[in-house]
């Protein structure tokens, strides 16, 4: 596909809502307002109409296949995305065998799949393998190529969540309920509006030449390079950052096409630029409702992979594909808003719309308490295997769950803590360029903080530590849940007659130790944080182990997100995913040593490869001890795996990289960092 510009004209033509839905529903006497809420799913006659309209739309666009599109739990986007789908044709056959188009309301609403191969953490015995799918009417149906994608929740026969989407819905419901209670007790009724999180996800990726990717079994199997001598040039010039997306590179056409395909599906992928590491790029959409943003992000990741392959590139979504240069994240910008446009994290708007100046400080105090109490859950939500190399003394942001509020809001909150409600008006300052030829501009009086994992930025929090390959449903499930709990506690006290300001005072007194406006990369901060009693969990697997702690089970049960059983099962799936990922890396390393490195060392006569043979033995031993531990204790097995990965495999890598540094390129059969990062 050769790409022209992404235009507003085709925007959303592959997304069943608005004008598109209107056009096809009107034939049956309905309009897109039918889809405004999920009520139509409770009325089979209406569902039949929607199905007919979807079918007409599909046929007009050359599609004749549908699938319920779901998000198996614990999956990661390192290879082939994070979604599940079974495709069904939208036709039936007459008695004489003639096919005709057919798609019913019942088919649209629900599906069943033999989900036996998905990880379920013991929630489903193999002989009762059914997984059940039900449409998520809050997220638009997409059309891509010959297929209609119907977003759906996925549960077991007993209703246990087997996916990432169902808990996010539960947490959104809890957030809606508790926020409304709190606001009502503060004298502000949101009426028929609903409350939900808005998110905007900045997606970082690498795009590398596909031919080089095919010469890297580690990238193909695990998404990251397990060996590779660092090249003479890295990112020291910072000359990749924001550099021209030049026509001389395949990446230019690739990025244009990614944007175009997203636009067609109504995904507002507005921002594109080069990131700081060589061959690293970023896309960001215009923010929106967290549930459909998560769906759209999964689609974006799939489109990125597919389009890249058509341009001779391989897209790497893993968090740390290369050693020695920046890894990739997915900043999760998060705010709480109402469906009629009130952003609770925007002080000016909150004051103007509610007329109550105590609401904003109360929201912020509650958020501070949520972060302080449940930093362990925030840490666990970002514990993807790839993040091992970014968090916890590896690469910033640190594994300490603090928040940055900025000096003036901190001062405002400190006054609240001392019992006075001052005024907080975000200040602007003129910025002068030192020449009359360039006009001065106005900027926020406070600079931004890039070293905090969860800074407040004037109208939203930005969870900067999320990983690039993650389905961030769990991240937002956690944020919504901890906010809901905190707002619920505030509402309880307000309903008992306590004063808003004194509630805020109490919360800040107890919890503002997690506010840290300093440099999060300062090596002294993690220890200082521990002294203050702020959550710091360096190892992702230790954070995952907290999922079923008494505190967390209590929280999730109280808020209606997970039962104790679901917590235990999810923990087991996450640990299993971690252990499996590390084992794959170790096995890949063994193969690379035997099939590539040792033969190269011999061919180029680089000396005795004895150390490499020893390394293989060490790796095999380590894998065996992980297996042995996993029999009885998955957490322990994950800890052993982590040590092998971050210590043993790193020192083996040093040996391999030293050989690579002395090997003539024609004798080295693995693609080098130079080929992966600097060929375009």
Please report, as ranges, the residues that interact with ligand ADP according to CB under 6 A.
Answer: 198-200, 202, 271, 284-287, 333-335, 343, 459-460
343 binds, among ligand ADP, Mg ion, none (CB under 5 to 8 A by kind): ligand ADP
Is residue 438 packed enough to be buried (19+ CB in 10 Å), middle (13-18) or exposed (0-12)?
Answer: exposed
Which of 202, 323 has the CB closer to Mg ion? 202
Q: Which residue has the tokens 């007329």?
A: 355
463 binds, among Mg ion, ligand ADP, none (CB under 5 to 8 A by kind): none
Nearest to 240 by CA among 367, 141, 307, 325: 325
CB atoms within 10 A of CB 172: 23
What is the spatial distance between Cα 355 and Cα 421, in angstroms, rounded to a whole number? 14
H-helix or E-strand spanning residue 430: strand 428-431
Nearest distance from residue 446's CB to ligand ADP, in Å?
14
Nearest distance from residue 217's CB to ligand ADP, in Å?
34
Residues forming beta bridges with residue 201, ordered by sequence position: 332
Which of 341, 434 has the CB closer to ligand ADP? 341
Nearest distance from residue 320's CB to ligand ADP, in Å?
20
Nearest distance from residue 597's CB to ligand ADP, in Å?
39
Q: Which of 30, 163, 176, 202 binds Mg ion (CB under 5 A)?
A: 202
| Residue in the shown chain whose Cβ atom is closest to Mg ion | 202
285 binds, among Mg ion, ligand ADP, none (CB under 5 to 8 A by kind): ligand ADP
Count the residues in the chain: 680
Which of 41, 335 has the CB closer to ligand ADP? 335
In which region does residue 242 sit, left (phi positive, over 0), alpha (psi from -120 to 50) or beta (all else)?
A: left
322 binds, among ligand ADP, Mg ion, none (CB under 5 to 8 A by kind): none
Which of 116, 343 has the CB closer to ligand ADP? 343
Nearest distance from residue 202's CB to Mg ion, in Å?
4
H-state helical runs in 548-609: 550-559, 564-592, 598-603
Which of 176, 634 has the CB closer to ligand ADP? 176
DSSP 134: E
Which of 215, 270 has the CB closer to ligand ADP? 270
What is the spatial distance between Cα 148 and Cα 142, in angstroms, rounded to a whole number? 6
Nearest distance from residue 465's CB to Mg ion, in Å?
15
Q: What is the 3-state secondary structure (H, E, C) of 442-486?
A: EEECCCCCCCCCCCECCCCEEECCCECCCCCHHHHHHHHHHHHHH
Nearest distance from residue 480's CB to ligand ADP, in Å?
13
CA angle, 512 then 443 then 293, to 5°: 65
Q: Does 512 bind Mg ion (CB under 5 A)?
A: no
In this structure, are residues 384 and 467 in contact, taking their beta carbons and an 8 Å threshold? yes
Nearest distance from residue 290's CB to ligand ADP, in Å?
9
Nearest distance from residue 139's CB to ligand ADP, in Å?
17
Which of 257, 293 has the CB closer to ligand ADP? 293
Nearest distance from residue 490's CB to ligand ADP, in Å?
21
Nearest distance from residue 204's CB to Mg ion, in Å?
9
H-helix or E-strand spanning residue 291: helix 290-310
Which of 109, 267 has the CB closer to ligand ADP? 267
CA 1 to chain centre: 29
155 binds, among ligand ADP, Mg ion, none (CB under 5 to 8 A by kind): none
200 binds, among Mg ion, ligand ADP, none (CB under 5 to 8 A by kind): ligand ADP
CA angle, 516 then 522 then 528, to 5°: 60
Q: Which stretch binds Mg ion (CB under 5 A): 69-77, 120-128, 200-208, 606-614?
A: 200-208
What is the spatial distance between Cα 267 and Cα 149, in angstroms, rounded to a whole number? 14
For 78-210, list the strands marked E by DSSP.
84-85, 88-89, 91-93, 99-101, 110-114, 130-135, 142-144, 147-156, 195-209
Q: Which stretch binds Mg ion (CB under 5 A): 171-179, 195-203, 392-400, 565-573?
A: 195-203
CA angle, 107 then 110 then 111, to 5°: 90
Residues forming beta bridges with residue 133, ordered by sequence position: 111, 154
What is the spatial distance between Cα 317 and Cα 207, in angstroms, rounded to a whole number? 9
199 binds, among Mg ion, ligand ADP, none (CB under 5 to 8 A by kind): ligand ADP
With b meaning 16 or more CB within 10 Å and e meaning fewer, what string describes 510-532?
ebbbbbbbeebeeeebbeebeee
119 binds, among ligand ADP, Mg ion, none (CB under 5 to 8 A by kind): none
Nearest distance from residue 201's CB to Mg ion, in Å?
10
582 binds, among ligand ADP, Mg ion, none (CB under 5 to 8 A by kind): none
Which of 276, 394 has the CB closer to Mg ion? 276
Which of 415, 517 has the CB closer to ligand ADP? 517
Nearest distance from residue 360's CB to ligand ADP, in Å?
14
Q: What number of chain residues touch Mg ion (CB under 5 A)?
A: 1
Which of 71, 198 has the CB closer to ligand ADP? 198
What is the spatial distance between Cα 668 and Cα 664, in angstroms, rounded to a whole number? 7
205 binds, among ligand ADP, Mg ion, none (CB under 5 to 8 A by kind): none
Nearest to 321 by CA among 223, 444, 249, 252: 223
Which of 459, 549 has the CB closer to ligand ADP? 459
Which of 287, 412 has the CB closer to ligand ADP? 287
DSSP 333: E
Q: Enumerate binding residues for Mg ion (CB under 5 A).
A: 202
């Amino acid at each position: 596909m050769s790409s022209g510009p992404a235009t507003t004209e085709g925007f959303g033509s592959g997304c069943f809502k608005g004008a598109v839905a209107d056009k096809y529903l009107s034939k049956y006497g309905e309009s897109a307002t039918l889809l405004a809420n999920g009520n139509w799913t409770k009325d089979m006659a209406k569902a039949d109409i929607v199905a007919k309209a979807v079918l007409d739309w599909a046929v007009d666009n050359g599609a004749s296949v549908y699938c319920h599109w779901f998000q198996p739990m614990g999956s990661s986007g390192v290879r082939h995305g994070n979604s599940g789908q079974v495709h069904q044709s939208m036709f039936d056959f007459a008695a004489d065998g003639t096919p005709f188009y057919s798609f019913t309301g019942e088919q649209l609403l629900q599906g069943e799949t033999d989900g036996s191969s998905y990880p379920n953490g013991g929630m489903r015995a193999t002989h009762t393998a059914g997984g059940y799918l039900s449409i998520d009417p809050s997220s638009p149906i997409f059309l891509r190529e010959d297929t209609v994608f119907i977003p759906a929740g996925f549960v077991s026969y007993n209703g246990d969540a087997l996916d990432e989407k169902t808990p996010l819905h539960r947490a959104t419901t809890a957030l809606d309920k508790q926020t409304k209670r709190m606001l009502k007790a503060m004298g502000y009724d949101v009426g028929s509006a609903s409350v939900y999180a808005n998110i905007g996800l900045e997606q970082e990726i690498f795009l590398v030449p596909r031919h080089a990717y095919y010469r890297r079994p580690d990238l193909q199997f695990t998404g990251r390079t397990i060996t590779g001598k660092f090249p003479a040039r890295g990112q020291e010039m910072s000359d990749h950052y924001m550099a021209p997306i030049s026509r001389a590179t395949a990446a230019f056409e690739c990025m244009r096409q990614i944007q175009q395909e997203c636009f067609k599906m109504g995904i507002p992928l507005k921002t594109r630029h080069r990131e700081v590491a060589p061959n690293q790029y970023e896309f960001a959409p215009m923010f929106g409702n967290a549930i459909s943003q998560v769906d759209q992000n999964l689609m974006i990741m799939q489109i990125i992979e597919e389009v890249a392959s058509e341009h001779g590139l391989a897209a790497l979504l893993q968090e740390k594909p290369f050693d020695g240069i920046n890894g990739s994240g997915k900043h999760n910008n998060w705010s709480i808003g109402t469906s009629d446009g009130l952003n609770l994290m925007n002080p000016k708007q909150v004051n103007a719309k509610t007329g109550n100046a105590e609401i904003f400080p109360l929201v912020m105090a509650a958020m501070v308490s949520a972060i302080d109490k449940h930093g362990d859950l925030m840490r666990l939500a970002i514990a993807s295997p790839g993040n091992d190399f970014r968090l916890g003394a590896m690469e910033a942001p640190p594994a300490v769950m603090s928040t940055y509020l900025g000096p003036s809001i901190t001062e405002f909150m400190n006054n609240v803590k001392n019992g006075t409600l001052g005024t907080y008006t975000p200040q602007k300052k003129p910025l002068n360029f030192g020449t009359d030829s360039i006009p001065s501009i106005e900027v926020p009086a406070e600079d931004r903080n890039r070293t905090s994992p969860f800074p407040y930025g004037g109208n939203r929090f930005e969870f900067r530590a999320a990983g690039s390959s993650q389905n961030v449903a769990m991240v937002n499930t956690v944020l919504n849940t901890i906010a809901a709990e905190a707002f619920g506690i505030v509402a309880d006290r307000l309903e008992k007659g306590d004063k808003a300001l004194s509630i805020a005072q109490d919360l800040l007194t107890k919890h503002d130790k997690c506010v840290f406006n300093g440099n999060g990369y300062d090596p002294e901060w993690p220890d200082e944080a521990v002294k203050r009693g702020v959550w710091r969990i360096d190892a992702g697997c230790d954070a995952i182990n907290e999922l079923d702690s008494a505190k967390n089970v209590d929280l999730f049960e109280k808020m209606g997100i997970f039962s104790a059983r679901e917590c235990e099962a999810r923990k087991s799936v996450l640990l299993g995913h971690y252990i499996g990922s590390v084992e794959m890396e170790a096995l890949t390393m063994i193969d690379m040593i035997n099939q590539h490195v040792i033969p190269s060392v011999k061919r180029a006569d680089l000396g005795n490869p004895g150390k490499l043979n020893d390394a293989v033995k060490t790796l095999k031993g380590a894998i065996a001890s992980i297996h042995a531990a996993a029999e009885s204790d998955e957490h322990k097995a994950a800890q052993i795996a982590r040590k092998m990965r971050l210590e043993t495999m790193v020192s083996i890598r040093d040996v391999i990289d030293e050989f690579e540094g002395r090997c003539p390129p024609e004798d080295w059969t693995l693609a080098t960092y130079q080929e992966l990062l600097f060929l375009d």
